[in-house]
Amino acid sequence: MITAIVFIQADVSHISQVAEQIAAIDGVSEVYSVTGELDLIAMVRVREVDDVAKVVADQLNKVEGVLSTQTQIAFQTFSQHDLEAAFSIGLDTP
């Protein structure tokens, strides 16, 4: 599974509509509206690295109201959920 984080600058008068259209794209798992220099962040989860281009370049970038994007590919995932699972291998405490 490939995870890409897409930073999006959007037309501020249409952020909700842009976010909804992006969220409807196959391969986009979440879209967050955020503060700061960016307007939206989209999480793209696909099977192959070539599929990132199909989602971002072929679809997401063509959503009306998307002004620019920057895509980051994740190498490895670290999360509290993953750490808890790793450390709870067969250890039951009373």
Each residue of 19-74: pLDDT tens digit?
Answer: 999 999 999 999 999 999 999 999 999 999 999 999 999 999 999 999 999 999 99
pTM, two decimal places? 0.82
| Top-level class of domain 2-87 | alpha beta
User: Does residue 46 contact residue 55 with C-beta atoms inside 8 Å?
Assistant: yes
Contact in structure between 70 and 51 (CB atoms under 8 Å):
no
